Amino acid sequence: MTNIALKTIYALITIITLIVPAQAQDNPLYSGKSRFHPVVAKNGMVASENKYATQAGLQVLKEGGNAVDAAVTIGFTMAVTFPRAGNLGGGGFMLVYLADKNEVISIDYREKAPLQATRDMFLDKEGNVDKEKSRHSILSAGVPGTVAGLALALERYGTISLKRALQPAIELAQKGFPVDYELSKSLSQAKSQMERSPASMKIFYKQNGEPYKNGEILTQENLAWSLKQIAQKGPQTFYNGDIAQKIASFMKQDGGLITSLDLKSYKAVTRKPVEGEYRGYKVYSMPPPSSGGVHLIQMLNVLEQFPLSSFGHNTSKTIHIFAETMKHAYADRSKYLGDPDFSPIPVSELTSKQYAELIKEQIDMEQATPSNKILPGDVIGDEGANTTHFSVMDSEGNAVSNTYTLNFSYGSKITVPGTGILLNNEMDDFSAKPGNPNAYGLVGGKLNAIAPEKRMLSSMSPTIVMKDGNPFLITGSPGGSRIITTVLQIILNVIDFNMNISEATNSVRVHHQWLPDVLNVETGLNEDTISLLRKMGYKVEIGRTIGVAESIIKDEGFMYGASDPRRPGGLTEGY
């Protein structure tokens, strides 16, 4: 090549690199007039609640792995470095956008009730729910789905080996990592319940019984063993091998219900995501056994009928419309949602525009409607945020939105001896007794009653919003019942209120779930608005934070991401 040609190429490259960041910053999705700035990148991005996980996932992307490779790596890493929610002994949901097929797939790796589970297993002699049993005993554990789910994702849609995906997790478990303030604090809060499990105590607390403190190194030898077994022998070791054996024999000895047969018969499955349209954007989210996607789309359909942007962000009028819409959705949740493998769920009816029109007609623009006046529609046919969500995008346009959990912080707090694996307490997400609220105040009916092999109803809502046929917004959150309303507000903040993803994440959130008849608002909502809402009839409670969103937007060739400041320790990074 001649000197001139080389110089021209060099000049072009220089011009492009000068223009690119400027373009990214010109986009209102970068900052606009906002005080908040998202992380910007061009080739790949990870948003998660944990820096080790984000770094491990990003490394995979940089090596040429796709979004699924990174997501699976993150999932395993968080089982080590974010043990309150990251897990091998829990379950979750993953939404995958495959660029080459232009298709969104959902992977359901939700836990299942064991074969020996019975409808009334958590009721005492008087017929009342024994919360201790459903939340903190060995019986609270469902058959775990995470290992099957992550392995299925990798096998069908990934490019790297399971060994490679497990490598950072194994290293971090074996060599250890410095505990941060959040982890230390959550361990000290969990201690009294962890004390029931000698195996948990041995891992997370020092010999004097104190949790590992900020900066101290936490190693997890048994967990490293389990991860290595999976790397060497595949997911079957968890379901029909050495790990399965340890789980089943511990269950037998400790009065649990999960047997070898339960583990052997567990399968993660793919399902067709629920779909909706909101102001020209296409929304994909998790179908049942999550209630998240259905009610997210139902609420968007109702809200689309209001000129929200002219009502203004977080004004009393807008919050009133949100709250009324939320009440209807959660009322329907209590009646119509459950495991679709057990009973038909009226998904298309609940997510139809016609049904949303009927709900709109019931909203009084001036007054709050008391929840006891709102009944589930006629459709034919105090825990913190302890789940975790992460979002990933790669350079080929693939995207992953994943939410997984042990339910409570550290799940049942019980570790299976010899494995380092914490068991979930997801059985509490069933409706132990019709009308009786679960830990998130959610009531449920027959469709979510306990039955052998049934998946308990969830609110986890990993979501992908498409713009002009391309993934635009990848988002999701922990927060139990508050997950759905958190995801809703992230979408509305971006689409209706023109916020960049950092501002959309930082903004004050509100939540109403029909029962109890309370409007939760985060601190920071102005007093004038609160008093207007009270005048409209709302019982406003200002209190704990709502959700922890980890989101990425892709627009005009750039990725913009943000980790939620509500839980420090998150990291969004791109390259």
Which parts of this chain interact with ligand DON (CB under 6 A)? 383, 385-387, 405, 407, 426, 429, 458-460, 478-480, 483
Question: Among residues 547, 548, 542, which one has the least CA distance to residue 529?
Answer: 542
Cβ 117 to ligand DON, closest distance in Å? 17
Rounded distance, CA 188 to CA 183, Å? 9
Q: Which is nearer to ligand DON, 168 or 479 (CB)?
A: 479
Q: Which is nearer to ligand DON, 420 or 444 (CB)?
A: 444
Rounded distance, CA 67 to CA 574, Å? 12
Q: How many CA atoms lie within 13 A of 309 on its CB side?
A: 10
Instruction: Give the phi and the psi of residue 529 in degrees, each rounded to 5.
Output: -65, -45
Instruction: Give the phi and the psi of residue 462 in degrees, each rounded to 5.
Output: -60, 135
SS3 content of the chain, % helix, strand, coil (to 5): 40, 20, 40
Take residue 315 and report the two structure tokens written for it: 């004004």
Q: What angle do CA 77, 81, 86 make, to 5 degrees?
A: 65
Beta strand residue intervals within 312-386, DSSP E: none
Q: Which is nearer to ligand DON, 458 or 500 (CB)?
A: 458
Exposure pattern of 344-376 as b/e (b: 16+ CB <10 Å)?
ebbbebbbbeebbeebbeebeeeebbebeebee
Active-site residue numbers? 387
Cβ 306 to ligand DON, closest distance in Å? 27
Cβ 223 to ligand DON, closest distance in Å? 21
Rounded distance, CA 429 to CA 137, Å? 14
Cβ 292 to ligand DON, closest distance in Å? 8
Q: Which is nearer to ligand DON, 442 or 501 (CB)?
A: 442
Does residue 548 contact residue 570 with C-beta atoms inside 8 Å?
A: yes
Q: Which is nearer to ligand DON, 301 or 425 (CB)?
A: 425
Rounded distance, CA 32 to CA 20, Å? 17
Q: Which is nearer to ligand DON, 460 or 562 (CB)?
A: 460
Helix (H) or strand (E) holding 511: strand 510-511
Cβ 41 to ligand DON, closest distance in Å? 28
Question: Among residues 50, 127, 144, 141, which one has the least CA distance to residue 90?
Answer: 144
| β 217-218/177-178 pair status | antiparallel
3-class state of residue 280 by DSSP = coil
Cβ 459 to ligand DON, closest distance in Å? 4
Take residue 33 and report the two structure tokens written for it: 């007039």
Who contacts 69 (Cβ-Cβ below 8 Å, separation ≥6)? 60, 61, 154, 158, 159, 160, 164, 165
Strand partners, 471: 466
DSSP tag of 456: P
Strand partners, 283: 276, 465
Residues in the chain: 575
Cβ 548 to ligand DON, closest distance in Å? 9
Q: Which is nearer to ligand DON, 346 or 478 (CB)?
A: 478
Q: Which is nearer to ligand DON, 114 or 479 (CB)?
A: 479
Cβ 545 to ligand DON, closest distance in Å? 11
Cβ 448 to ligand DON, closest distance in Å? 11
Cβ 289 to ligand DON, closest distance in Å? 9
Amino acid in the structure at residue 155: E
Q: Which is nearer to ligand DON, 244 or 329 (CB)?
A: 329
Strand partners, 177: 218
Does residue 499 contact residue 30 with C-beta atoms inside 8 Å?
A: no
Q: Which is nearer to ligand DON, 110 or 317 (CB)?
A: 110
Does residue 507 contact residue 496 with C-beta atoms inside 8 Å?
A: no
* Residue 18 CA, distance from chain mean position: 37
Q: Which is nearer to ligand DON, 216 or 383 (CB)?
A: 383
Does residue 24 contact residue 538 with C-beta atoms inside 8 Å?
A: no
Question: Among residues 444, 427, 338, 415, which one has the least CA distance to residue 122?
Answer: 427
Cβ 179 to ligand DON, closest distance in Å? 21
| β 387-393/45-48 pair status | antiparallel
Does residue 34 contact residue 504 with C-beta atoms inside 8 Å?
A: no
